[in-house]
Structure 1
Amino acid sequence: MVVVDMVWPDQSNHHGTLFGGAALSMLDRLAFIVGSKALRGSVVTASVSDLNFAAPAPAGHLVECTAEVLRQGRRSVTVGTRLVAEDLLSGTRTECLSGEFVMVRQAESTATAPVSPVATPAQAPQPYPSKPPVFTEGGKASATVAEIVFPGHANHRGLLHGGPAMEWMAKAGFVAATRRMRRTIVMASSEKLNFKAPAHVGDVVEVTATVIATGRRSIHVHVDMWAESPATGERRHCTTGTLVFVAVV
């Protein structure tokens, strides 16, 4: 699974780079998502190992987080993670952090989806590509943001509030548009947002943004937001819309 995020000043240390704790939080969040999908239940972090801080991620850069299952048992899964920083204007990419997270399914989970009782052998880490990959969906620039709906994101009914939902959609759209233009951009408008179904506290939310049209300065991005229950795998198409970004002269 590959998702993106941005390094903002409030996540940075006094050197102007991503604080180590914030970087670990990003990887832990993705390990939770991948572990929940693999074990189909409520999981917690049991241990973290083989952490390697290879390079800093400057504020203003995109960070791309990758996670894959390395070993899986009946109640635990080992997830290999990697964090790469990307300069959105130049496309230059730097591997910053890697590590392994052991996620354990809680005993009270009522999930009934089958899991493998036999541990699978660990896969050797793939070499980091020397050239930037092409980020496309159907031949068009794209980006995916993944989040977990926590109580602070929800309203009094335990449903995802529209504010955080729009923030996550804007983030994914910003990354896709900037990757397409490789210029400084700002959001100009939202042509339409349709809220079709709710996302609940505890759900995993995935937002996919794809560039659908470009002009000399404007970029139209289609966004889709899906919510998934970690325990059951039920997916709901929550929101769809089109965002318009403009390149700054």
Structure 2
Amino acid sequence: MTEITTTEKPVQHGSTTRLIDIVFPGDTNHHGTLFGGTGLALMDRVAFIAATRFGRAPFVTASCERIDFKQPARVGNIVEFTAIPVKAGRRSLTVEVEMAAETIVGHQRHICTRGIFNMVAIPEGEHAQSYALPDLVAADVPDTKDAVAMVEIVFPDQANSVGRMFGGEAIAYMTKAAFVAASRYAGKLVVLASSERIDFARAIEIGEIVEAQARVERIGRTSMSIETKLWSENLLTGERHVTATGHFTMVAVDKDHRPIPVRDNGSADVVCDSQGRA
């Protein structure tokens, strides 16, 4: 890590980091809503990723301010956690986190809660004593309604004996991103019909960030082709690589799991641009 003096600090934008998941029955209480502790854990995780991306140093959670859950997330909902740095000190960083839930059918969205997480950098190495966080400049929030970008961290239980992420775990994460992109586009329940060849360009190490990016590239009558890329990112250096690419075919279905038109007018064979727009 380069030495940072007190008289000349770099500037870093407070960009938004998104973690997206789906509420499964094992994550819920007897009311069928997401456990509050699970929601808090995911909020803390995305705050950690956002802080590390900002400061490029190891971080720990110092505290979080009172968090009130205004509305629940239910089984089958997509839950999205967004984190953005809002205040930077010398080694402390305040990260604002929002948790939102949305239905797959109809794409009805509501805010579950917001919270403030105070993170502290714990730098290591020969320049640890002189380390300071960069100055914070607010960043424009990009328009992401036509694409999905979701992050996670690779943990040991997702890796093989040499500390690299299982290929199956990577494929599952890419498939989840494709599902979210397709269901958001259609506003209907979708299922995986097939996947084309998936090529892995490099291994993903324990502790790296993985970011799946998915967009709808072609629309048929009942099916959608989803282009998905998986990036790996070193927590401390920010070095990023495209690790895997793949295409998934998702089919819109009704409550009885029978194929239905993606679009209500039944149109087909639409090619989308690079932003996912028809």
Q: TM-score, normalising length from structure 1?
A: 0.87
1:161 maps to what in 2?
Answer: 166
Is 2:161 the counterpart of 1:151?
no
2:53 maps to what in 1?
Answer: 37
CA contact (8 A) 2:107 2:187 kept: yes
Matches within 5 A, 1:1-249: 1=16, 2-108=18-124, 115-116=132-133, 135-136=145-146, 142-248=147-253, 249=258
CA contact (8 A) 1:6 1:61 kept: yes
CA distance in 2, matches of 1:75, 1:195: 37
Work out which of the two has the higher radius of gyration on C-alpha atoms and give 1 or 2: 2
Matched residues, number: 234
Q: TM-score, normalising length from structure 2?
A: 0.79
- Identity within the alignment, %: 39
User: Which range moved further: 35-44 or 109-118?
Assistant: 109-118
Amino acid at match of 2:230: M
Amino acid at match of 2:191: V
Amino acid at match of 2:168: G
CA contact (8 A) 1:32 1:43 kept: yes
CA contact (8 A) 2:55 2:134 kept: no
Amino acid at match of 2:183: T
SS in structure 2 opposite 1:197? coil
Amino acid at match of 1:233: G
| Structure richer in strand, relative to its length | 1
CA contact (8 A) 1:50 1:98 kept: no
**Aligned-CA RMSD value:** 2.2
CA contact (8 A) 1:111 1:232 kept: no
Flag as ranges the 4+ runs of structure 1 deviating above 3 A: 109-118
CA distance in 1, matches of 2:204, 2:29: 33
Gaps of 5+ in 2: 1-15, 259-278
Amino acid at match of 1:179: R
CA distance in 1, matches of 2:206, 2:238: 15
CA contact (8 A) 2:159 2:206 kept: yes
State the shift of 1:25 in Å: 1.4
CA contact (8 A) 1:41 1:110 kept: no
Pick closer, same or farther for the CA change 1:177–1:110 going to 2, 3 Å: farther
Amino acid at match of 2:212: V
